[in-house]
Each structure stands twice: as structure tokens, then as C-alpha cells.
Amino acid sequence: MKLKPSFYNHWASLQNGKQVLFNFFTGKMIEVPDTDFEKYIYVMDHCNTDLAEDQQKLKKELVQEMYLIPEDVNELDMIRIRNLSSRYDSLFYNLVIMPTLDCNFACKYCYESRDTGYMSEELQKGLISWINKISRMARRLQLTWFGGEPLMDFSIVENINSHAKAACAQSGCFFHSDITTNGYLLTDEILSKVDDLRLTNFQITIDGPPEYHNRYRPLKDGSESFDVILKNVFRLLDRTKAQVALRINVDKENYSSIPKFLKMIPQKYRTPQLMLAYKDIFSDPEGNKGIEEEITNNRIKSYQIMKDLYTHSLQEGFEVFIPALKIRDHHCNSGSKNYFIVHPSGDLYRCTVEFENGKTVGHLLEDGNIIIDSYTMAKWLTYTPGDDEKCAHCKFLPMCQGGCRYNRIVGKNPCSLEATDLDGIIELYYLSKSKLA
């Protein structure tokens, strides 16, 4: 059988001087000693020739780990199969529920409207009816709470999650839920119910130390929010089992202050229960025309700064969440058939940035039935990774799966920042693995 090196192999020279061989299709990595580097190169370049005994042994290892693959294998087809299998998985449902678009904050980069309507009791009954049907068909149901600020009316979260938990327990469907919240409204009452309601994951945003966070994320009346949120994060970690992802939005103004903020988090919280996630600031220009120029000018274009922040966080003993280090079946759940965002009105969407233009994919009725716009749905579900030449020749494709689907649909650049610095993302992977060792 003739062999060839995987297209997704990538050699990286780390800052510590070490050489590693990483494969973006498998997510596997080999640290190669300097004394063996030439041997690895030779074996991979001459894998179909007669080799010495030690070279044959290395060749066998490289085949087992898929750094060397059969010559007739089309790796793009393998990526597409992985993507399509996940996209049309009928046994997994993810509903993103937005009880309201109302919010107690006035974040300067927010792209959503400030609609103050809330999901009606009638629509909540319809949603529960739909969830009951799903629980009898699926093996796993994930409810994701989003807003607006979903804790503006916690009774809706409690009502839906309680029914979903009971329905899934009866049918044998695994149920869990997560929530994206600004963290300001985490009262003692809410904290006492988190575990019972299967709210297993929280994403809470703090944009650096107070002087930046309070400017980026003030309350509606202009008041500061930093102190309350940080205290609530600590209370959430102390009193629940929930995993907390602390999202830190970064631009060229606040990035150098992040180490100062990290020092404000005591050592006892630097555990796997708390993870840090960095994200460059973005907004939709049609949603925030007045400040879009400012945000665009500040947006970090190089992944180098993100890499430095993750590196510093690992060195300080924090767990980090880096989506780009995960081998994905799809870029985000918007590419999956059974993924829907439920608007407070009952309209169904694929992405929250579509709210402003009203591009729905369907509607949830009060009787629990749904109406789907097949033509619009097709736009989200028909792209497969590698359909365009740039993606087909990009080593990062197995990890980004073609990038942001929304951006691709509207004609914007779908690529992730991580794709611009493959050595940097491998360095992060190496550091994260070293921390776990």
C-alpha cells in the first residue's frame, strides 16, 4: 500500500526551541527531539521506499497516528463526512432560548436591539410542548439560555428547565443546559436552584479590570457593574457545581491590562471549574452604526496578542477554553439541522445577528408545532467544508469547518483569526497539554 503524508501535518518551532509535528485533522502532536528531526523528515518524504529498521519502526508509528495515510485517501471527503454526520444527527437537539431581548446593561459593542418584550405564558406552553416531543425522539437535549439578559425574568428559565428535566427523565433523553449572562442578577435564590435545574455551564463576561470593564459594560443608567459581577462569579463557584467560562472581550485598548485583572482572581478559584476565554470585540455594522468605526479601528487583527494572553493565563495557573484547539464537526451549531434560536416572539432563527434584518427560518406556534422555511434553512445547511478553493487548501479546515456560516452567507470573510497563525495555535495546544501533564 502506497502512503503519503497527511496534508494537515504542520511542523512548528516553539518558543522554547522544540520542534513539534501537529496534525490538524486528528489533533495529535509529537514533540520531536532535535536528534530525530531529520529522520522524521526523511521517513515522511521517502515513505514508499526501502527503509532501515529504525526508520521502518518510525514509519509504522506515523501510520498508526495518521501522519502518514494511504495514497488514495481523500482527506477532504473525510472532513465532509464528519461534518455531514454531525449536521444531520437526528438524535441531538440544541435550542437557544431567548426569554427577552431586554437587558439591564448598555454595552458599547452590543449588536442586539433593546426590545423589552418577554416570552408570553402561552408561548412558553408551546415551547414546553415542543420540548416534550423532542425528548421522545432525541437522545440528548441541550437548552442554551441567551438574551438580552435571560436572568431579567428567571421564572421563565425555571419553568422551561423544570419541564425539560422531567420530560427527559421520563423518556431517557439526556438533558443539560447552559446560560450566557452578564452575571449581575445572580441572587441567592437563583444560586440555590442552579444545580437542580441542570444549569451546568455559565458564560459570564468581564472585560478586564474595572477601568475598562465599567466603560465597556455599564448598567443602563451608566452605573458601574464590575464589583457586583466579580463577587457573583466567586459566589457561583463557591455554591454550585456549574462550570464557569469567564469571557474576556479584547481590543487594542484593554489587552495590556488583562494581567492586572487576572491578579484579582484568588488562587483557590484557578481550578478546572473556571475557564478563561478571550474573544476579539466585534459587532454588526447594521446594528451599531454610530460606534462601528471605533470598534473596527480597535479590533485586533493579529492572533499573536490573543496567543500571548492565553499563554500568560496558562502560566498563571488558569484553565483556558480555546475553541480553535478542538477538532470540530461543524463551525458552530448554526450548521446543524436540529439547532434553533427561539426568539421571545416565537420566531426561529439560526444566528442572533439575524434579528435586525428579520431573516427567520420558521416560527414556533403556541400549540408546540413549528413552521419551517425550507428555502432559508437550505442556505444554512447546504455548504460543506472545502467547497471553495481557499478552504480546500487551508490546513486549519478540520478545526474551523469553513468558518462562520453567517459571514459566508452575507458575503463577509468567514475565516477565524486563528487560521492566520498556525504556529501560534500549536504553541497554545502544547502549553495547555504541558499544564495537564
Strand 274-280 relative to strand 92-97, pairing: unpaired
CA gap 259, 312 in Å, rounded: 8
Give the model confidence (pLDDT) of 111-143 as tens digits. 776 777 899 999 999 999 999 999 999 999 999
CA gap 148, 158 in Å, rounded: 17
Per-residue pLDDT at 292 exceeds 50: no
Q: Where in the sequence of the chain do the CATH 3.20.20.70 domains occur?
A: 75-437
CA gap 164, 175 in Å, rounded: 7
Q: Report which residue type is found at 84.
A: L
15: confidence class by pLDDT, cuts 50, 70, 90: confident
Cell triple for residue 346?
416565537
Give the model confidence (pLDDT) of 358-372 as tens digits. 789 999 999 999 999
Cell triple for residue 139?
437522545
Give the model confidence (pLDDT) of 407-422 as tens digits. 888 888 888 877 888 9
Residues 260 and 312: beta-carbon distance below 8 Å: no
Q: What is the pLDDT of residue 300?
A: 54
Per-residue pLDDT at 281 exceeds 80: no
Q: What is the pLDDT of residue 285?
A: 35
The proportion of the chain whose per-residue pLDDT surpasses 90, expressed as a percent, equals 68
Which CATH superfamily is 75-437 part of? Aldolase class I (3.20.20.70)
Residues 184 and 230: beta-carbon distance below 8 Å: no
Residues near 49 by Cβ (< 8 Å), separated by ≥ 6?
none
In whole angstroms, what separates CA 387 from the centre of its chain? 23
Please write down the HEC assignment for all residues of the chain. Answer: CCEEECCCEEEEECCCCCEEEEECCCCCEEEECHHHHHHHHHHHHCCCCCCCHHHHHHHHHHHHCCCEEECCCCHHHHHHHHHHHHHCCCCEEEEEECCECCCCECCCCCCCCCCCCECCHHHHHHHHHHHHHHHHHCCEEEEEECCCCHHHHHHHHHHHHHHHHHHHHHHCCEEEEEEEECCCCCCHHHHHHCCCCCEEEEEEECCCCHHHHHHHCCECCCCCCHHHHHHHHHHHHHHCCCEEEEEEEECCCCHHHHHHHHCCCCHHHCCCCEEEEEEECCCCCCCCCCCHHHHHHHCCCCHHHHHHHHHHHHHCCCEECCHHHCCCCCCCHHHCCCEEEECCCCEEECCHHHCCCCCCCEEECCCCCEEECHHHHHHHHCCCCCCCHHHHCCCCHHHHCCCCHHHHHHCCCCCCHHHHCHHHHHHHHHHHHHHHC
CA gap 54, 234 in Å, rounded: 54
Q: What is the pLDDT of residue 87?
A: 87
Calculate mean pLDDT across residues 293-312: 68
Give the model confidence (pLDDT) of 168-187 as tens digits. 999 999 999 999 999 999 99
Q: Which backbone phi and psi does 218 adopt, to 5 degrees?
A: -80, 165
pTM (global) more than 0.75:
yes
Cell triple for residue 394?
487551508
